[in-house]
Amino acid sequence: MFDFEKLDKTIHEKGRLGIMTLLATRPSWPFQDLKSELAMSDGNLITHLRTLHDAGLVSVTKEMLDRPQTSYALTAKGRKAFQDYLAVLEQIVKAARQ
């Protein structure tokens, strides 16, 4: 029987899963790009990003380009957690098929 406790609950939530997925595709994502790609409100996105940051899965960089820009990236722990989460999902699908 599959152990569902292996699923990382921080990532499993739909909004945070979307954020983690996008962060896994590029070295970093500006806040505005994440917002337009995920079609989330500012408040919703900030709350999810804070949760991920508090869990040590996401790092934040604030820089001054032509205007202030906040970018987010996966930490090494975050990348590992996302890969593990994917592996668990695959195991669930495989186990259900057998």
Partner 1 sequence: MSIRAEAEENLRVIRSLMEKATVYRAISAEAAAVGGVLAVCASFAFGNCWSRTAESYPMTQPSLLAFFGLWGAILLIVAIANLLFLRRAALRRGEPLFSSGMRLALTALLPSFAVAGWLTSLVWKPIWMIFAPAIWITCYGLALLAARHFAPRSLAWLGWAFLIAGIWSSYMAITTAWGTLYMIPKGRDPGVWLAWNGIYNAQELMALTFGLFHLIYAACVWPRKSER
**C-beta closer to partner 1: residue 37 or 84:** 37
Task: Establish if 86 lies at the interface with partner 1 (CB under 8 A).
Answer: yes
89 binds partner 1 (CB under 8 A): yes
Residue 34, number of CB atoms within 10 A of its CB: 20
98 binds partner 1 (CB under 8 A): no
Asked whether position 43 contacts partner 1 by CB under 8 A, the answer is no
Q: Toward partner 1, which CB reaches closer, 14 or 62?
A: 14
What one-character-per-residue DSSP string does 43-91 give? Answer: HHHHHHHHHHHHTTSEEEEEEESSSEEEEEEE-HHHHHHHHHHHHHHHH
* Sheet containing strand 68-74, strands side by side: 29-30, 68-74, 58-64
8 Å CB contact between 34 and 72: yes
- 3 binds partner 1 per the rule CB under 8 A: no
Report yes or no: 26 and 88 within 8 Å, Cβ to Cβ: no
Judged by CB under 8 A, does residue 30 bind partner 1?
Answer: yes
Binding site for partner 1 (CB under 8 A): 2, 4, 12, 14, 17-18, 21-22, 24-30, 32-33, 36-37, 65, 71, 73, 86, 89-90, 92-93, 96
